[in-house]
Amino acid sequence: MLRVTEITDKHTWEQFVLSQQNKNFLHSWNWGEFNRDMGNKIFRFGVSDENGDLAAVFLVVKIVARRGSFLFVPQGPVTHDFNSEILEAVAGHLKQLAGTEKCGFIRVSPIVTNHPDNALLFQEAGFRKAPIHMHAELMWMLDIAQTEEKILKDMRKTTRYSIKKAEREGVKIIKSWRPDDVAVFRGLYQGTARRHHFTAFSDEYLQKEFEAFRADDQLLIFLAEYRETIIAGAMIVFYGGSAFYHHGATSSAHPEIPASYLLQWEAIQEAKARGCALYNFWGIVDKEKTNHPWAGLTLFKKGFGGFAQEYLPAQDLPLTSRYWLSFLVEKIRRARRRL
């Protein structure tokens, strides 16, 4: 018999999450703190076996929206053995919590591979595929346990050339944990969103994410400077032996200078220096989706070499009729964004 209890101790939470193979920063203690700082109600639960040992943990974020509130589990639950018993325990507890919190549905973004067996587990538990993703579900990974020489050799030829060109042109990469540089990055990021017509995260979102991870030295801002002008930037999260390229931005100034390539190479070298084995470029799209907003970014990321990791799409558990309004709104939103 599995038992679900609340976890309030950071050490207990982090010790378990960091010991698991399938994990990322979206289930870190600090991601929970970030969501709390953003004004969301959060819950942290552990699933224990008959011996009292932790078998799984799951972070829950209550999302309040005009179309109806719901409970969200971001890329979880984290466990060494995802199975129907654990999913049943998690779903049962979430149903009770949803009733208390007056939520219309539950959404889980599982950190399990997109395989029919995993999809069947959710289907048998009453879940259905969500109309829209919450976080990237198809990611591009790079094994950085290799030597730098091997990584460079396996890159696309044009990527290697762009790195060397940026170096020759005198691009300087700044690594910063200074709060003032968050504002610099935000300016680049908002400009990028306007040029490429995507919905940007708010200034508050970027600021609070920086603050949540900075205290534990889990985040750095990378800025590319050319002729005393910042022309590219990135926010990189370091967690659990991986580095995550979570946010990126470029300036419209000096488009002939491939600063973003050198910036990524510097971030990869920093990740190696920190002992990371993987560099996660975050979301990409299938090569067939040439009109997708991420198509160009996908080509850029793949140029560094690596492999794809596809997770099961977000899963919804409808609890009330209000869910279908949210379903319709998100279907329309996805179509408008060409996602």
Give yes or no: residues 101 and 196 share one domain. Answer: no
Cβ neighbours for 283, distance < 8 A, ≥ 6 positions apart: 135, 136, 137, 138, 139, 140, 294
Number of independent structural domains in the chain: 2
**Span 72-88, pLDDT tens digits:** 999 999 999 999 999 99
Kindly tell me if the per-residue pLDDT of 203 is higher than 80.
yes
Same domain, yes or no, for 20 and 160?
no
| pLDDT band per the 50, 70, 90 thresholds, residue 27 | very high
Nearest residue to 73 via CA among 143, 135, 147 = 135
Find the range with the poorest average confidence among 36-50, 165-179, 277-291.
Answer: 277-291
Using alpha carbons, select from 209, 211, 198 the residue that is nearest to residue 244: 209
Domain match, 164 and 293 both: yes
Average pLDDT value for the chain? 94
Q: How far lies 316's CA from each of 255, 319, 322, in Å?
A: 42, 9, 13
What's residue 196's pLDDT? Answer: 76
* Cα separation, 171 vs 158, whole angstroms: 17
9 & 105 share domain: yes
Model pLDDT, residue 337: 64
Encode pLDDT of 107-120 as tens digits. 999 999 999 999 99
In this structure, the answer to whether residues 156 and 279 fall within a common structural domain is yes
Confidence of residue 325 (pLDDT cuts 50, 70, 90): confident
Do 280 and 326 lie in one domain? The reply is no
Residue 68 confidence class, pLDDT cut points 50, 70, 90: confident
The whole domain housing 62 covers 3-135+312-336
pLDDT score at 223: 98
